[in-house]
Structure 1
Amino acid sequence: MSDAIADAKRALRAELRERRHAMSPAARAAAAEGLHAQLNALVAARSVTTMACFLSTTTEPDTHAFVTDAAARGIRVLLPVTRADGLLDWAVATPDGEIAEGLFGLPEPVGELLGPIAVNDVDVLVIPAAAVSPDGTRLGWGRGYYDKTIGSMEGCPPVYAVVFDSEIIDDIPRDVHDQPVTGIVTPTQTLTLAPTGR
């Protein structure tokens, strides 16, 4: 990655992080409710029976209620567990599943680990992002876990990045290893983007 791209990403992440920290509790609650509805509509529209999702941190759009609800309705939801080698293990969500602090302080499920290839069988991936552009360029938080996961999948299913509405940004710095997404989910809308050729 060139220094210019790395610096631009760092600056944008810092700005987005600050914006997220400044959100009011009322705005967070409204966003959580909206995101839950959008994700329910997405899995219904795509007849999803198995999916990958993530457990949000306190500043991300809240996915916890959706994950609990989806698992209770019989959707097989795989949740990521970070590994020191840069890969993701996966565990199956349960409605009353225990959550612990994983690497980097992220909320992660406690339970049997299925290994990195378990995600190859999902109908859709729902992943975190700092921002996404309308052409599918995703800005993550800089550790590369999801770029590695998406880049290594044969026949990758649709990938939807979750962001707040204000985080759909036209101009996101992009490097060669950055994997595009096929859709964006916000608290008010779900966008399926034009194919990128991946």
Structure 2
Amino acid sequence: MHDIGSKPALRAELLANRAELSVDVRSAAGRSIRDALLGVPELEMAGTVAAYASIGSEPETHGLLFALWKRGTYVILPRLLPDGDLDWASYEGPDSLVPGPFGLLEPTERARGVDAIASADVVLVPALAVDRTGVRLGRGGGSYDRVLARVSPAVLTVALVYEGELLDALPVEPHDRRVRAAVTPDSGLHLLGDAN
């Protein structure tokens, strides 16, 4: 059982666990998550999906981005602003990504503004862990708490995590924004909290 009182310690533990995963394991997890998400009705019907380009030890999203784009979904990806907020621009295939701050991959298309997220039908977010009430543990910068505050409660928001990162409880603070679902490689989509 994790000590849910210490976000920094929990982040360090989760990042250390991810660092031990091989490239093959991360790639396989990305394929499983891609396949699970592509079959979710909300994603099948979505006109616009907000997502992100995975980096480092995150579950791999590049195959998912390409599959959504190829089937005609309008995909928007974040650009990190100097104040830590996220702007959005369209994904136009793998060649439309360039290195950004902190090793992030960002779209080269014209920025659409921080409020572009409000037009998304589904929002996919990175997380180090998520609990069964929808509390999401990110890297601590607060970027996605700001993003999720701009998203309608009716929109499906999904955290992408590995097996073992869907926990019973996480520490929560007043500014934390919950997600409605999580997806894991082995067990697919989990509706969380009130979405259950």
Normalising by structure 1, report the TM-score.
Answer: 0.89
- Please say which of residues 136-145 and 31-40 is displaced more in the overlay: 31-40
Partner of 2:173: 175
Contact 1:83 1:103 in 2 (8 A): no
Of 86, 89, 95, which residue of structure 2 is paired with 1:88? Answer: 86
The 5-angstrom pairing of residues 156-195 of structure 1 reads 157-188=155-186, 189-195=188-194
Cα distance change, pair 186–148 in 1 and its aligned pair in 2 (3 A): same
Instruction: Deviation per CA, 1:67-95: give whole Å up to 9, x if none.
Output: 01111111001101110122211011112
Q: For the Cα contact (< 8 Å) 1:72–1:94, is it kept in 2?
A: no
Aligned to 1:14, what secondary structure does the other structure show?
helix
Q: Deviations over 1:34-89 (max 9, x none)?
A: 01101211256651121100100121000001101111111001101110122211
Contact 1:53 1:78 in 2 (8 A): yes
For 1:159-190, what per-residue CA distance to the aligned partner results, in whole angstroms no more than 9, with x for missing partners?
11010011111231111100011000111211
Equivalent residue, structure 1, for 2:108: 110
1:17 to 5, 15, 18: 15
The amino acid that maps onto 2:7 is: K
Decide whether the 8 Å contact of 2:42 with 2:122 is kept in 1.
Answer: no
Written as runs of structure 1 = structure 2, the 5 A alignment for 1:50-69 is 50-69=48-67
Output the TM-score relative to the length of structure 2. Answer: 0.90
Aligned partners of 1:106 and 1:95: how far apart in 2? 16
Moved over 4 A (4+): 43-46
- What's the offset of the Cα at 1:156? 5.5
- Report the AA paired with residue 158 of structure 1: L
Contact persistence 1:81–1:109 (CA under 8 A) = yes
Letter of the 2:149 counterpart: G
Partners of 1:37 and 1:183 in 2: CA distance: 16
Consecutive unaligned residues of structure 2, counting only runs of 5 or more, are none
What's the C-alpha RMSD, in Å, of the aligned pairs? 2.0
Q: Distance in 2 between matches of 1:125 and 1:45?
A: 10
Identity of counterpart residues, as a percentage? 35
The 8 Å contact of residues 150 and 156 in structure 1, kept in 2 or not, is answered as no
2:168 aligned partner, one-letter code? D
